[in-house]
């Protein structure tokens, strides 16, 4: 096919009208019909996309130099047309084919979109202008300021050009265009600005926004005040990370973070260093000041960019483990080869060494922050602690470092975060373990009857409410020689630790009548429990359920059973009875007197149901439970 034929018959033969996928349509509707005080983010997103396109072409040109032609250097050109209310952002990057336009501009490929849209919808009134920056809405932010958007693009090396057009109201079209109407290479985005957004076609506004939000992209930016004006350079494309730290202001780091992270908050921590020696590379990374919307993305990938000698290799390189996926930033290596595929670079031993080093550096910088500014670190832990704790389960090599970083709410912390170092410093005499209680609701576990005996002795207990807690705590060997022990598993082992108000009474006093009742309860409950015993951990409640000594923690068992990953039947719990409780004493006396044993048996089964409810489950037989409860109520009122 001749060049002329290709020009006349590019990717699409005629305009194709399409509708956005459902999530995109909903997102566009929310953005267009919501009022935000700060819409400036759209320009940052367009410039960021253009810079990425130029960097991708640089990479492709390593193996296909002909793609560059005579236009060797990447650039972004912004052209203003204040008379007609138009703003154009053009790049000479990699460009897009028609199919790539449909994929990139008609869908949102990143998983977690639905959750993002739902949060955007519910939070828009409460969070206002901060919302857009927090989530990073990308190309679609153009529809906050434009009632029509045209995207002309020609892929590098192609003889076909296309235009994507939409008014942001649910549909778009893709059509072929003559080559003279398209860029020689790359993409040109034309915004037809709304009346109330025409200030974005004014030079001073655009120049201010570029210098504020996009002054550090690694591609030079040129601005033409009018369509026929000579473009002038307003950003030289110097890579911020290549400059000495002493020359970089905090505001520069913040601007760069906002561009690379797609967020509009302040970074909680900036990590910028240059490694020399066996591996030479530069890292510029940030801990966000707020949670990215994709923090719990099932893919669990960190959004880190990989450069090799300032050539962008990957937007989402495997540079950090999944439990550090909240990090945003980049690594620029001077050692990795450029003449191999991206896939091979990802498998390179050099990259593995860099990955290990940068992971260690991030953890050490977090440790420094926790020591230097406990308040700032507490905010980081508030946002990302649940994710960092995944490393306690997955990363055995760094478990000690992660345990040092971990913070916990405890029965003694008053709602504040406590470190394991603080916990161990407060151990009671004869305390041999670090005690914890895991559950799915922080308020409920804080009021659990399992904690009564520990509180009565002043023993601190970790309150673990994140799902990952039940996994890491069972695989961790301990901290400073003290093992982790669940307060819902096995014997409490509290006999050697005295009560605060009655130091002489450490162990429960079990009368002969209560001892006989415990045996009666064991016989009555039969196969429903593995044992019935006097409790050291209860002081005010009558009963509770605990896991056997060598069984699985009850919370972990519930999680695995709910996920269908538990083989066989659930383990039979141990019913612990408070020998000092008035109700237990009366039941023991009634059994000893031999009066109305069927009623004592029914009340005993009701105690087991009560323990199940306190444990967050339901009675095994709800109908029988209701009948027993009615029986007891009737008798008490009779």
Reported confidence tier of residue 470, pLDDT bands at 50, 70, 90: confident
pTM of full prediction above 0.75: no
The average pLDDT across 491-520 equals 82
Residue 306's domain comprises 242-382
Residue 574 DSSP class: E
Q: Judge contact between 105 and 220, C-beta under 8 A.
A: no
Pair 126, 144 in one domain: yes
Pair 464, 366 in one domain: no
Last residue of a domain, one of 348, 365, 382: 382
pLDDT reported for residue 553? 73
Report the distance separating Cα 136 and Cα 264, nearest Å.
8
pLDDT reported for residue 110? 43
Pair 57, 141 in one domain: yes
More confident residue, 83 or 499: 83
pLDDT at 76 over 90: yes
More confident residue, 492 or 622: 622
Report the distance separating Cα 312 and Cα 32, nearest Å.
33
| CA geometry: angle 416, 115, 271, nearest 5 deg | 55
Pair 27, 166 in one domain: yes
Q: Which two tokens stand for residue 83?
A: 């008379």
Last residue of a domain, one of 183, 218, 237: 237
Pair 414, 343 in one domain: no
Last residue of a domain, one of 364, 382, 400: 382
Reported confidence tier of residue 5, pLDDT bands at 50, 70, 90: very low
pLDDT at 563 over 70: no
pLDDT reported for residue 137? 53
Pair 221, 247 in one domain: no
pLDDT reported for residue 263? 80
Average pLDDT, the chain: 85
Q: Judge contact between 537 and 492, C-beta under 8 A.
A: yes
Looking at residue 330, which CATH number applies to its domain? Answer: 3.30.230.80
pLDDT reported for residue 341? 60
Number of domains in the chain: 3
pLDDT > 90 fraction of the chain, expressed in percent and rounded: 53
How does pLDDT run across 212-228, given as a tens digit for each residue?
Answer: 777 777 899 999 999 99
Pair 154, 291 in one domain: no
Question: Residues of 495-530 as b/e, b for ≥16 C-beta within 10 angstroms?
Answer: eebbbeeeeeeeebebeebbeebbebbbebbeeebb
pLDDT reported for residue 111? 37
Q: Which two tokens stand for residue 370?
A: 């926790």
pLDDT > 70 fraction of the chain, expressed in percent and rounded: 87
Pair 509, 395 in one domain: yes
Range with top average pLDDT, 122-136, 364-378, 535-549? 364-378
Pair 184, 292 in one domain: no
Report the distance separating Cα 549 and Cα 551, nearest Å.
6
Q: Judge contact between 486 and 549, C-beta under 8 A.
A: no
The average pLDDT across 181-194 equals 95
pLDDT at 541 over 50: yes
Report the distance separating Cα 575 and Cα 612, nearest Å.
10
How does pLDDT run across 282-304, given as a tens digit for each residue?
Answer: 999 999 999 988 888 777 777 88
pLDDT at 4 over 60: no
pLDDT reported for residue 118? 62
Pair 347, 275 in one domain: yes
Report the distance separating Cα 426 and Cα 492, nearest Å.
19
Reported confidence tier of residue 530, pLDDT bands at 50, 70, 90: very high
pLDDT reported for residue 59? 87
Q: Judge contact between 55 and 186, C-beta under 8 A.
A: no
Pair 367, 407 in one domain: no
pLDDT at 16 over 60: yes
Looking at residue 176, which CATH number applies to its domain? Answer: 3.30.565.10
More confident residue, 280 or 32: 280
Report the distance separating Cα 381 and Cα 209, nearest Å.
32
More confident residue, 516 or 40: 516
pLDDT reported for residue 136? 38
Reported confidence tier of residue 162, pLDDT bands at 50, 70, 90: very high
How does pLDDT run across 96-122, given as a tens digit for each residue?
Answer: 999 999 888 876 544 344 555 565 566
How does pLDDT run across 303-358, given as a tens digit for each residue?
Answer: 888 888 777 777 778 899 999 999 999 999 988 876 556 667 777 889 899 999 99
Report the distance separating Cα 11 and Cα 160, nearest Å.
7
| CA geometry: angle 520, 526, 529, nearest 5 deg | 105
Q: Judge contact between 350 and 335, C-beta under 8 A.
A: yes
Q: Which two tokens stand for residue 148?
A: 């029509």
pLDDT at 33 over 70: no
Quick one: which of 502, 408, 509 has its CA closest to 457? 502
Pair 31, 135 in one domain: yes
pLDDT reported for residue 130? 39
pLDDT reported for residue 344? 72
Torsion of Cα atoms, 254 then 256 then 262 then 265, to 10°: 0
Looking at residue 616, which CATH number applies to its domain? Answer: 3.40.50.11260
pLDDT reported for residue 636? 77
pLDDT reported for residue 284? 97
Q: What number of other Cβ atoms are within 10 A of residue 2's Cβ?
A: 8
pLDDT reported for residue 133? 35
pLDDT reported for residue 55? 87
Q: Which two tokens stand for residue 302?
A: 């960190």
């Amino acid at each position: 096919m001749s060049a002329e034929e290709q020009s006349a018959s590019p990717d699409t033969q005629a305009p194709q009208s399409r509708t956005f996928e459902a999530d995109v349509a909903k997102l566009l509707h929310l953005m267009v019909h919501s009022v935000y005080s700060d819409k400036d983010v759209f320009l940052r997103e367009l410039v960021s996309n253009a810079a990425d396109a130029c960097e991708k072409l640089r990479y492709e040109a390593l193996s296909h130099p002909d793609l560059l032609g005579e236009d060797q250097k990447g650039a972004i050109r912004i052209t203003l047309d204040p008379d007609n209310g138009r703003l154009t952002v053009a790049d000479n990057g990699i460009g897009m084919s028609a199919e790539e336009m449909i994929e990139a501009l008609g869908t949102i490929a990143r998983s977690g979109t639905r959750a993002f849209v739902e949060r955007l919808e519910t939070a828009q009134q409460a969070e206002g202008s901060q919302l857009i920056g927090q989530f990073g809405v990308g190309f679609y932010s153009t529809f906050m300021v434009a009632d029509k958007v045209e995207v002309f693009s020609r892929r590098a090396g192609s003889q076909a050009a296309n235009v994507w057009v939409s008014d942001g109201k649910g549909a778009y079209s893709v059509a072929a265009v003559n080559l003279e109407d398209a860029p020689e290479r790359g993409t040109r985005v034309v915004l037809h600005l709304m009346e109330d957004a025409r200030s974005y076609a004014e030079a001073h506004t655009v120049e201010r926004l570029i210098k504020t939000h996009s002054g550090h992209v690694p591609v030079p930016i040129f601005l033409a005040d009018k369509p026929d004006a000579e473009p002038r350079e307003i950003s030289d494309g110097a890579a911020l990370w290549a400059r000495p730290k002493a020359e970089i202001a905090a505001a520069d780091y913040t601007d760069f973070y906002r561009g690379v992270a797609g967020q509009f908050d302040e970074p909680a921590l900036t990590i910028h260093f240059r490694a020399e020696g066996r591996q030479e590379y530069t890292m510029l990374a940030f801990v966000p000041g707020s949670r990215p919307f994709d923090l719990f993305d099932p893919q669990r990938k960190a959004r880190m960019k990989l450069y090799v000698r300032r050539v962008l290799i990957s937007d989402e390189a495997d540079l950090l483990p999944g439990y550090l996926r909240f990090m945003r930033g980049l690594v620029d290596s001077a050692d990795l080869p450029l003449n191999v595929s991206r896939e091979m670079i990802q498998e390179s031993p050099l990259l593995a060494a860099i990955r290990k080093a940068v992971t260690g550096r991030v953890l050490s910088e977090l440790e420094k922050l926790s020591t230097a500014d406990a308040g700032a670190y507490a905010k980081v832990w508030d946002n990302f602690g649940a994710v960092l704790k995944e490393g306690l389960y997955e990363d055995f090599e760094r478990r000690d470092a992660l345990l040092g970083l971990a913070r916990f709410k405890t029965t003694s912390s008053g709602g504040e975060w406590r470190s394991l170092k603080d916990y161990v410093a407060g151990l009671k005499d004869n305390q041999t373990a670090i005690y914890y209680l895991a559950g799915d609701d922080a308020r409920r576990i804080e009021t659990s009857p399992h904690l009564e005996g520990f509180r009565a002795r002043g023993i601190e207990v970790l309150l673990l409410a994140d799902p990952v807690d039940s996994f890491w705590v069972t695989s961790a060997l301990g901290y400073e020689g003290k093992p982790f022990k669940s307060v819902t598993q096995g014997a409490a082992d509290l006999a050697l630790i005295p009560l605060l108000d009655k130091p002489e009474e450490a162990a429960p006093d079990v009368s002969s009548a209560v001892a006989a009742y415990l045996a009666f309860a064991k016989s009555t409950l039969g196969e429903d429990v593995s044992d019935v015993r006097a409790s050291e951990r209860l002081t005010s409640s009558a009963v509770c359920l605990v896991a056997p000594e060598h069984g699985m923690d009850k919370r972990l068992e519930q999680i695995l059973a709910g996920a269908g990953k538990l083989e066989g039947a659930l383990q039979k719990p141990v019913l612990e009875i408070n020998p000092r409780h008035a109700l237990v004493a009366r039941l023991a006396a009634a059994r000893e007197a031999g009066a109305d044993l069927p009623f004592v048996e029914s009340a005993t089964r009701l105690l087991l149901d009560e323990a199940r409810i306190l444990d967050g489950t339901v009675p095994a037989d709800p109908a029988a439970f209701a009948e027993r409860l009615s029986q007891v109520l009737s008798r008490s009122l009779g």
